Chain A
């Protein structure tokens, strides 16, 4: 038994080396991937992307630790062939230090994830919504298969292009005329379903100038299946400076 135990500690040292190499490779690849992240065009997009990238770092680490243990032990403890039926000396049914470590880590990571990025991200998103004194209200009407935008306080109605100023929080008021849709601008990092017989709000603070033509992530896209026109239920987006926005409103209001 003693000999078998020593052997297992030696195997564990090999696993640690395997883990270190795996973590180095995995997290380097992840750093490269996150370095090539698509554009983040609003404060909300930064919050949701923070959550995603944090969880990516963590997922790579857990994948290497757990998956590495599977691969390593399957390789290290393999028999030479199917006909090699001798049983190993090590027949323990459980080993408390391993089980307890696993349990503590699993519960700990879960609690931590619920707090960050889960609740922290939600509180940040809700905080923007609550702190906004004077949001720009835009009525969004979804129907099969087009988007219509109205700016009630500016007197601009029924335009098919979404023009918004940079740096001001917008209150999108979402309604649908027929079936369920989903209002999503990929670059703004959040989406909201539009539900019949209900009114929904989505708060976005654009931080980056641009148009759909310069970056396709900056587009309104229906993100909930709504029939055969669903893929083309898009609308162009234009984020402009506050001065340009004023000029646009003056040209388009009645």
Chain B
């Protein structure tokens, strides 16, 4: 096993700090906020002073954001936990108690819990933006008592960007993945624990900036940020660009950890053939981020440069806006696979344990996950068939349609696993089944957008809105909630309330479909996206969608209450409540700070999905070999 200093430290610290929560533990959070805001205003005002402008202008907003971000990171604990030591100073102690949840640190489990909290908060706020959109669309005219057209455009831009980068990008990868990846691979921590810790602390300022962008003028472009509209419709685009680039960089740090941990940190006997399917899903997602995200956040920063530095990459008489589209979609199409591949892997991780069957056609399932991630790199152009030359249409249509073949392997594997099994359906499994049904619609309707002739009509209509909500909300968020329910005992030692879990699953499924299925019809009927005002002949269908969406939105209070209540008062769970053979369930719940004591290592001796009656335990515990 790798023995970097962090792990040595952790091993020596087996006497875990049991101090109960005290308000003083929140100190790093307050300090980070204070330093961050001070840094932002100081830098923005000084820049405004030097350039004889005001702080809401693009340049001061940019400088302020960068300085504020660095100050926030220092305040969160990066200073004494990392930087001070790099310059020869004393390193901070390793925090093993509750206070590690509120400061920068190398512990992957507390980082993952912070991810869950951030995702829930962001989901709530961006969900409120969605409600605001649907209120505006209750009537066809300009609903001026509610939102102006400018505010409406800002609202859907924030909703889109935050739901994508603030929620689904890190919901499963961050909250579920970073918690489980060391436990599933049989190691005590990820390969670069400090980078992983840093990845979370980059997110709050980035999401805060995007939500606050209306205060400096907002942005009108939606979450695409297409030039040249980006440069002439409000300074808020600065925080859109910087927020998006920061979050992409943070997910890159996580991706390096996923890939590195899977390659270098597996327990003895954990051959690639025995790596849990969920880790394969994370790995497939990580490869996408490592290869493709730099091109896209560079493009976003070039967009910013056109605005503050006077360059003309995309704007002006010599600018080439299509180049931005190429760079933007180079990551942002595959990015949806970063969202959905871990969700696929969640299905395939949960179903064998629930059905007591081995994962069917496991090799094909892995080929599906990796195949999607590889093909995904080559097809971003299908997002702008209406903008490209004819020569680019056939090739990108063909590659895009090919993605459905590896995607199908996931369904092949899932159906084969359930078939002939004895499926125990709890709230998590129910949500997984519903996610499969929703994503099936999302995937099949994607073929229409891949097919150029159909796409020339359906592009940028409500058809597309319905399509990607079926994949993102119907696929990823259903799976995310399923994963939170399934691994809840691992994190808290308690179970969620099954009745309210299933009740909400059905509520969610019904109102999700009532909200988004009519959007396919609205798209065919000629309703284009991103409009606050639509023609009266579309009123009835919009009314129906809006009212359904209010029920859908209100329903999310049920799992929120369920998770919060069960965290404190839920029924106590045994270490392995679902009878799973997964390595993460073979240790204590809730996971101790150091998952297994010093001197002990797991050794994997069999597949983790063998549920036959006479099957052997897949893991044995061995003493750590001496160096």
Contact = CB atoms under 8 A, between A and B. Distances in A.
Query: Are A and B part of the same complex?
Result: yes
Interface of A: 4, 8, 11, 33, 37-38, 45, 47-52, 55, 59, 62-63, 66-67, 69-71, 73-74, 77-79, 81-82, 84-88, 90-95, 98-99, 102, 106-107, 110, 113-114, 117-119, 121-122, 124-126, 178-180, 182, 184, 186-187, 189-193, 195-198, 216-217, 219, 221-232
B226 interface: yes
Q: Which of A33, A81, A196 has the most CB of B within 10 A?
A: A196
Nearest to B445: A59
Given A38-B525, A63-B444, A93-B360, A228 B149 contact: yes
A224 B423 CA distance: 47
Interface in B560-597: 579
Given A85-B356, A224-B460, A197 B535 contact: no
B313 interface: no
B412 A102 contact: yes
Nearest to A4: B420
Closest 10 CB pairs of A and B: A121-B453, A186-B526, A231-B531, A90-B420, A193-B387, A51-B453, A231-B533, A87-B356, A179-B229, A51-B454
B361 A49 contact: no
B451 A118 contact: yes
B414 interface: yes
Given A70-B437, A122-B452, A223-B461, A91 B611 contact: yes
Contact of A118 (B221, B401, B460): B401
B423 A113 contact: no
A184 B444 contact: no
Given A191-B386, A216-B526, 17 more contacts: A52-B457, A59-B444, A67-B437, A73-B423, A79-B425, A82-B424, A84-B424, A86-B422, A88-B420, A99-B361, A102-B408, A102-B412, A110-B405, A118-B398, A126-B390, A180-B226, A228-B150
Contact of B415 (A38, A73, A216): A73
Contacts of B521: 33
A91 B420 CA distance: 8
Contacts, number: 264
A188 B419 CA distance: 47
Contacts of A222: 528
Interface in B126-162: 148-150, 153
A191 B361 contact: no
Contacts of B394: 118-119, 122
Contact of A93 (B361, B390, B425, B453): B361
Nearest to A122: B452
B401 A114 contact: yes
A119 B421 CA distance: 42
Contacts of B440: 63, 66-67, 70
Nearest to B393: A122
B103 interface: no
A221 B452 CA distance: 20
B364 interface: yes
Contacts of A99: 361, 364, 412, 416
